[in-house]
Amino acid sequence: MVNIVNMKTISQEALSAIRHKVEAAGYKMSDVCRVAEIDQAQVSRWMSGTTEPLYGSVMRLDQAADALVSARLTVLNKAMEDAVK
């Protein structure tokens, strides 16, 4: 039998890691929700533990977060290159 408590903990940890990743890059979870095309209110319910996200939804959030962080790094790298010239 699947341990529901462990599943909730894993989901909470994954969502927390995503939030930390995007906030460190200067984004908000609302930005991630917009890119992932997931309603921000739904993500809020997941983060509060009110409801459980599907695995695919967490993956969409993570992929959106990675895309935003990558875009930010590309812009920063370009600015650094221009500053050195």
DSSP state of 26: T
Evaluate if residue 81 carries a pLDDT over 50.
yes
**Domain locations along the chain:** 4-84
Q: What is the pLDDT of residues 28-61, one digit of tens each?
A: 999 999 999 999 999 999 999 899 999 999 999 9
Q: 81 and 40 in contact (C-beta within 8 Å)?
A: no
Q: How far apart are CA 2 and CA 55, in angstroms?
A: 15
Instruction: Give the pLDDT confidence score for residue 57 in this predicted structure.
Output: 95
C-beta separation of 68 from 27 below 8 A: yes
pLDDT of 1 reads 45
Percent of the chain with pLDDT over 90: 68
Q: How confident is the model at residue 7 (pLDDT cuts 50, 70, 90)?
A: low
Domain 4-84, architecture per CATH: Orthogonal Bundle (1.10)
- Per 3-state DSSP, the chain is made up of helix, strand and coil in percentages (nearest 5) of 80, 0, 20
Reported as a pLDDT band with limits 50, 70 and 90, residue 76 is confident
- Alpha carbon distance 16, 33 (integer Å): 14
